[in-house]
């Protein structure tokens, strides 16, 4: 049984786990609700934004886009030490626990619910927007592309640079 399910099951009936995606576990306990893959980004954001906490126990995640999506929705993130999620989650907006342990996940969930998850979610959103907002990221990418192309880059010529960079296709 997946760690998330075992952790929530061990926490007791006042905890509910929402799983969204392809494939459901063979046995679905009463504490778990499974929804299919959500192709509509707005609908997925609504579902995610309705949650109190995002739990991501994947220790081999290379970046953690799904954790950033949770943070952008104002949801604190419980992740595991190691991997990309571990680099994104700060103690003001989530918690990192030992990888590979449903007991550690359960303790982390309980610990986060002892905090003000709304305040943590707001801080996570603030941190995400400060570092990962598309305006910020695109500006960095344009600067890197310009450096590779040997072009001096600044914000004033960003739009012109984007239009003149070669595309792959």
| Whether residue 37 has pLDDT greater than 70 | yes
**pLDDT > 70: percent of the chain:** 89
* Higher-scoring residue by pLDDT: 75, 58: 75
Residue 133 CA: distances (Å) to CA of 30, 69, 83, 137, 138:
37, 11, 21, 6, 9
pLDDT reported for residue 160: 55
Q: 146 near 153, Cβ under 8 Å?
A: yes
pLDDT reported for residue 117: 96
Strand partners, 69: none
Closest CA to 124 of 69, 76, 65: 76
| Whether residue 158 has pLDDT greater than 70 | no
81 phi/psi in degrees, rounded to 5: -65, 135
Domain residue spans in the chain?
3-132, 135-164
Mean pLDDT over each residue of the chain, to the nearest integer: 87
Q: Tell whether pTM > 0.95.
A: no
CATH superfamily for 3-132 is: Glycogen Phosphorylase B; (3.40.50.2000)
* Higher-scoring residue by pLDDT: 58, 124: 124
pLDDT reported for residue 145: 80
Q: What is the pLDDT of residues 80-137, one digit of tens each?
A: 988 888 888 999 999 999 999 999 999 999 999 999 999 999 999 999 988 887 777 7
Cα–Cα distance for residue pair 54/19, rounded to 1 Å: 10
């Amino acid at each position: 049984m997946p760690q998330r399910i075992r952790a929530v099951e061990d926490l007791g009936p006042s905890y509910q786990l929402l799983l969204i995606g392809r494939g459901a576990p063979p046995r679905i306990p009463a504490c778990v609700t499974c929804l299919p893959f959500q192709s509509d980004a707005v609908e997925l954001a609504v579902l995610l934004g309705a949650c109190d906490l995002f739990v991501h126990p994947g220790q081999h995640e290379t970046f953690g886009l799904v954790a950033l999506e949770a943070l952008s929705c104002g949801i604190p993130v419980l992740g595991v030490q190691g991997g990309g999620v571990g680099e994104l989650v700060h103690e003001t907006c989530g918690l990192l626990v030992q990888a590979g342990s449903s007991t550690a996940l359960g303790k982390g969930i309980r610990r986060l619910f002892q905090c003000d998850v709304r305040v943590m979610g707001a801080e996570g959103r603030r941190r995400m927007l400060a570092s990962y907002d598309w305006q910020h990221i695109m500006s960095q990418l344009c600067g890197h592309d310009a450096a590779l192309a040997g072009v001096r880059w600044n914000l004033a010529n960003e739009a012109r640079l984007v239009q003149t960079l070669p595309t792959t296709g």
